[in-house]
Homo-oligomer: A and B are copies of this chain.
Amino acid sequence: MQINYDVVIIGGGVAGTTLADQLAANKLKIAVIENDLWGGTCPNRGCDPKSILIAGVSTVTNFNNMENNGVSGQAKIDWPSLMEHKRNYTNQIPNRTEQGLLQSGITTYHNAGHFIDANSFLIGDDILMADRFVIATGQRPRTSKIVGQEYLLNSNGFLDLDELPNDITFIGGGYLGFELAAIANAAGAKVHLIHHNDRPLKEYDPEMVDNLIKCYRNSGIEIILDTDITQAAKKNNQYVLTGQDFSLTTDLVFATLGRVPNIENLGLQQANVNYDNRGVIVNDSLQTTNPKVYAAGDVISRNLPKLTPVATYDGDYLSKLFMDNNEPIKYPTIPTIIFGKPALAQVGRVSTNADDSKIECVENDMTNWLSYKRMHTKFAKAKIYVEKSTQEVVGATIISDQADYLINIFTIMINNHATVTEIDKYIFTYPTLASDIKYLI
């Protein structure tokens, strides 16, 4: 059967549902297609469940820092109950997401499908036609190519692990590798994190990454650099990872090798939609090479962090574009964060090797701040970048348990072109991290 819509959205994740809800509120006839879990990666297998597991980590870390400094007892992560806490949240996501769409008058298709030409999308027996299509299929974990890759689990597996083994290895020192390693370590496992070269988290200030690695090693996490794993083999109930002059026996192995866009099997060629290995190619209105087809969120090939709030921003943008706006998309400053132990966050322009003579860096050991001292925080450091000519704050890299808080305040400052003295114009509640910022810059 041929069915006509105003907009057909392929992908029921953050970008797709944000867009669908707003278009439906404007009375457009919308279909959303999802071939996996309604809600997509973020609430099912991404930021949200990770954040719930990290709630356990921060509780235990906080307790450990304060132990013998005013607090006594013992705090341990109880993995099964932490997983239950997570599942209480995630289990309801798919149904609740689809019900939300249906209640907004949106048609849902829970199936895979593909373009059959530039104007039609086949799903089951139906051919969907629309004024506009939006590809919002996101990404999935990259599969390892080593011999024995079938023994490796990925981040989806970690976030749904029934029992935590004693010894866990992560292959790949990206943001997920660092985050999951911190969780497993706090939960009591012996953790190994293997990275193929000497520069994990390469988007971040190398000196701050070195600091983070030191913190990880001090927590008992083994970080193994410059090591290519070539083979995984099963041995009794364990796994043996081997590389050149390297061998490690461990209970469970997770590949944390980054993510790849979900662009196969969509019939993009039939639809004249160009793509590369980073995703669907779009112009500055998120329009693909087929003028009828747009893309949103992680599936887009671009030099921006692939993050939930960026996907939300894309969805918001497209809803306005489809209704009345013709402006190209313009992103504000986008902060990034590794919710590690401690967290590492970065925003704006950072001069990672002093090659930018127009900006200067102010460094701060924040452990002397009352906000950290009172919690007996072990490591907290900030590097703030200031444009010499204007004294505008242009960037920041921060390591600390509250890096998320601080980086968001710097994000506001950078968006507002605030100068270093602007923070003195505010009166914040005292003593808080916000009131401490004036000691920073």
List which A9-60 residues lie within 8 A (CB) of chain B.
42, 47-48, 51-56, 59-60
Q: Is A244 an interface residue (CB 8 A)?
A: no
The CA of A331 and the CA of B427, in the complex, are separated in Å by 8
Given the interface contacts A70-B56, A89-B373, A435-B309, does A429 sit within 8 Å of B76 by beta carbon? no
* A412 touching B429, Cβ below 8 Å: no
Q: Do B62 and A62 touch across chains, with their CB atoms under 8 A apart?
A: yes
A375 interfacial contact with B, CB 8 Å: yes
**Identity of the chain B residue whose Cβ is nearest the Cβ of A375 in the assembled complex:** B55
A81, A316, A336 — most chain B CB neighbours (10 Å)? A81
Q: Are A81 and B75 in contact (CB under 8 A)?
A: no
Residue A235 CB within 8 A of the other chain: no
- Residues on the B chain within 8 Å of A425, using CB: 332, 415
Binding site for B on A (CB under 8 A): 42, 47-48, 51-56, 59-60, 62-63, 66, 68-78, 81-86, 89, 307-310, 313, 316, 331-337, 345, 370, 373-376, 404-405, 407-409, 411-412, 415-416, 424-435
Contacts of A432 in B (CB 8 A): 404-405, 408
CA distance A316 to B308 in the complex (A): 41
Question: How far in angstroms is the closest Cβ of chain B from A271?
Answer: 30
A309-B428 contact in complex given A70-B55, A71-B76, C-beta closer than 8 Å:
yes
What is the bound-complex CA distance between A416 and B78, given in angstroms?
Answer: 45
Q: How far is the CA of A12 from the CA of B306 in the complex (A)?
A: 52
Chain A contact surface mostly: helix
Please state if A408 and B431 are interface contacts (CB–CB under 8 Å). Answer: no
Q: How far is the CA of A412 from the CA of B432 in the complex (A)?
A: 14
Residue in A345, A415, A428 with the greatest tally of chain B CB atoms within 10 Å: A428
A165 CB, nearest partner CB in chain B, Å? 18
Q: Is A313 a contact of B427 with CB atoms below 8 Å?
A: yes
Contacts of A408 in B (CB 8 A): 409, 428-429, 432, 434-435
Please measure, in the bound complex, the distance between the C-alpha atom of A332 and the C-alpha atom of B434, giving whole angstroms. 15
Q: How far is the CA of A55 from the CA of B310 in the complex (A)?
A: 34
A333 to B427, CA, bound (A): 7
Given contacts A60-B71, A332-B425, 16 further A-B contacts (CB under 8 A): A48-B370, A52-B70, A54-B374, A55-B70, A59-B62, A69-B85, A70-B84, A73-B73, A73-B74, A89-B370, A308-B430, A309-B430, A404-B432, A405-B432, A405-B434, A408-B435
Instruction: State whether B424 touches A411 (Cβ < 8 A).
Output: no
On chain B, the residues within 8 Å of A89 by CB distance are: 370, 373-374
Q: Which residues of B contact A415 (CB under 8 A)?
A: 425-426
In chain B, what residue has the closest Cβ to A89? B373
- In the assembled complex, the CB of A154 is this many whole angstroms from the nearest CB of chain B, namely 21
Residues of B within 8 A of A374 (CB): 51-52, 54-55, 89
A72 touches B78 (CB 8 A): yes
25 example contacts (A-B, Cβ-Cβ < 8 A) are as follows A55-B70, A55-B375, A56-B66, A69-B85, A70-B81, A70-B83, A71-B76, A71-B77, A72-B76, A73-B74, A74-B75, A89-B370, A89-B373, A316-B424, A333-B427, A335-B427, A335-B429, A336-B429, A345-B429, A404-B434, A405-B433, A405-B434, A408-B432, A411-B429, A412-B426
Q: What is the bound-complex CA distance between A86 and B308, given in angstroms? A: 41
Residue of B nearest to A69 (CB): B85
Contact of A431 (CB < 8 Å), options: B48, B53, B66, B412: B48
Q: Are B411 and A426 in contact (CB under 8 A)?
A: yes
Query: Are A71 and B56 also in contact (CB < 8 A) when A309-B427, A411-B427 are?
Result: yes
* A75 pairs with B76, CB closer than 8 A: no
Residue among A77, A308, A415, A426 with max Cβ neighbours from chain B (10 Å): A426
Q: Is the CB of B416 within 8 A of A428?
A: no
Q: A52-B374, A374-B55, A435-B309 are in contact. Are A429 and B69 (CB under 8 A)?
A: no
Taking CB atoms, residues of chain B closer than 8 Å to A53 are 70
Known: A52-B374, A404-B432, A432-B405. A334 touches B74 (CB 8 A): no
Q: Which residues from chain B contact A55 at a C-beta distance below 8 Å?
A: 66, 70, 374-376
Supposing A55-B374, A426-B415 touch, asked if A431 and B70 sit within 8 A by C-beta, the answer is no
